[in-house]
Amino acid sequence: MSQTPLLLARGVEKRYGDVPVLERLDFQVDAGEFVTLVGASGCGKTTLLKMLLGTEQPSRGEFLLEGAPLPDEPGVDRGVVFQRYSVFPHLTALDNMVLAEEFALAPLTARLFGAARRQARERAAANLAEVGLAQAMTRYPYQLSGGMQQRLALAQALTMRPRLLLLDEPFGALDPGIRLEMHALISRLWRERSLTIFMVTHDLREAFTLGTRVWVFDHLRHDPQAPEAFGATITYDLPIAARTKATPDIPPALIKESHA
């Protein structure tokens, strides 16, 4: 069996212009891990997700996906869900799903025909059913609740069976009860599909409940004369032993950082 980690970061830094945002990122993540990212606003969590997605590039260092340089543009090997989902408003849930597959499989025309289209529709229907949207396939986005839209977003992100699933505060805009339902859904999908997930959240309880590993972002180095002189990095990398714990133990030192 290969010893190559699914994802390796070596000496990654990210600057926007002269401003360092992230520094000293060295980590390895194995297939099947569920990494949650927490930390103060503006310390670069979304920037890390964007680098993994391929919409931003490291200023220094590199990422290796299964030993090969991470492609420097988004691809079907990485799925993403944002806090607010943007869909095509004139397409039903099913047609939005099929379109995601058309973009992936026929990037030039974004059209599938005949048997390929029929199969794409069958897959789309199965994937929607898997996230609990069997009854909502013919609905338009404005007819879906926030939770249902995020279910659709998840189904769409998983359409091409990505190696990495990147979630940027995917449940941040949802009511607490709906959030719990979404926690159950993402946990089930993670287990059943053996996903590798990176999820940014401001909710520490969510981070410790869902993650097998919690990364806390902060500044290791700080110059009071020049607050923007240094980037943030992963200051804690906390393995969560018992993933199925009903009430996760959150280190008291971290409680103050919760925004929830």
Ligand X SMILES: Nc1ncnc2c1ncn2[C@@H]1O[C@H](COP(=O)(O)OP(=O)(O)OP(=O)(O)O)[C@@H](O)[C@H]1O
Provide the binding-site residues for ligand X, judged by CB under 6 A. Answer: 16, 21, 41-47
Q: How near is the Cβ of 124 to ligand X at its closest, in Å? A: 31
Q: Which is nearer to ligand X, 42 or 67 (CB)?
A: 42
Q: How near is the Cβ of 168 to ligand X at its closest, in Å? A: 8
SS3 (DSSP) at 200: strand
Q: Which is nearer to ligand X, 35 or 124 (CB)?
A: 35
In Å, how far are 45, 46, 148, 188, 210 from 131, measured between CA atoms?
27, 25, 9, 10, 17
Q: How near is the Cβ of 76 to ligand X at its closest, in Å? A: 24
Q: Residue 53, Cα to own-chain centre: how many angstroms? A: 9
Residue whose C-alpha is closest to residue 255's, from 213, 223, 207: 207
Q: How near is the Cβ of 238 to ligand X at its closest, in Å? A: 18
Q: How near is the Cβ of 234 to ligand X at its closest, in Å? A: 12
Q: Which is nearer to ligand X, 14 or 213 (CB)?
A: 14
One-letter amino acid for residue 53 of the chain = L
Cα-Cα end-to-end distance for the chain: 41
Helix ranges restricted to H, 106-194: 114-130, 146-158, 176-192
Q: Which is nearer to ligand X, 47 or 127 (CB)?
A: 47
Helix ranges restricted to H, the chain: 45-53, 93-105, 114-130, 146-158, 176-192, 204-210, 252-255
Q: Helix/strand/coil (H, E, C) string of 148-165?
A: HHHHHHHHHHHCCCCCEE
In Å, how far are 46, 56, 190 from 34, measured between CA atoms?
16, 22, 8
Q: How near is the Cβ of 15 to ligand X at its closest, in Å? A: 9
Q: Which is nearer to ligand X, 44 or 162 (CB)?
A: 44
Q: Which is nearer to ligand X, 47 or 196 (CB)?
A: 47
